[in-house]
């Protein structure tokens, strides 16, 4: 079975541009979460979606947005890119929302975003 897939693998953008990152969850998983991992730090939670609805949001500015499609895949959009947005963006999928449940998250390989 395929794991969580993310595209593209690498991306280079300039300040002020917009970027869209894509994630396909494991088959049967209905929840997708997005994380930002800056070099030398742990992943920081951005969003969680379940059944196309936002179920959790981390402390990120409104420049960050996401959505989930009927096939449970997801996109993360970042507008007006800043140098500080350079990071590895991770997608994780689970059967259902992770709070108070026995669902574990499975992570994809990430998209490396570089903002120049």
Query: Could you give the string, one character per residue 55-74, with x where binding to another protein holds by CB under 8 A and - elsewhere?
Result: xx-x----------------
The radius of gyration computed from the CA coordinates of the chain, to the nearest angstrom, equals 13
Q: Using alpha carbons, select from 42, 94, 51, 81 the residue that is nearest to residue 69.
A: 51
State the CB neighbour count (10 A cutoff) for residue 109: 13
Q: Which of 11, 13, 22, 44 binds another protein (CB under 8 A)?
A: 44
Q: Which of 21, 29, 97, 115 binds another protein (CB under 8 A)?
A: 97
Q: Which of 23, 32, 78, 108 binds another protein (CB under 8 A)?
A: 108
Question: How do beta strands 19-24 and 53-57 pair?
Answer: unpaired
* 107 in contact with another protein (CB under 8 A): yes
In whole angstroms, how close is the CB of 17 to another protein at the nearest point? 26
Q: Which of 1, 2, 62, 99 binds another protein (CB under 8 A)?
A: 99
Which part of the chain contacts another protein (CB under 8 A), choosing from 7-15, 16-24, 53-61, 63-71? 53-61
* 43 in contact with another protein (CB under 8 A): yes
End-to-end CA distance of the chain: 37
Report the alpha-carbon distance of residue 21 to residue 11 in Å, rounded. Answer: 9
The SS3 assignment for 49 reads: strand
């Amino acid at each position: 079975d395929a794991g969580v897939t993310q595209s593209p693998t690498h991306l280079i953008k300039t300040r002020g541009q917009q970027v869209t990152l894509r994630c396909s969850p494991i088959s049967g998983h209905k929840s997708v979460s997005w994380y930002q991992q800056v070099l030398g730090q742990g992943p920081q939670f951005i969003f969680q979606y379940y059944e196309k609805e936002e179920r959790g949001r981390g402390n990120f500015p409104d420049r960050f947005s996401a959505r989930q499609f009927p096939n449970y895949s997801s996109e993360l959009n970042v507008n007006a890119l800043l140098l500080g947005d350079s990071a590895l963006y991770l997608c994780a999928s689970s059967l259902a929302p992770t709070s108070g449940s026995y669902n574990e998250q499975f992570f994809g390989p990430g998209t490396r975003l570089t903002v120049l």
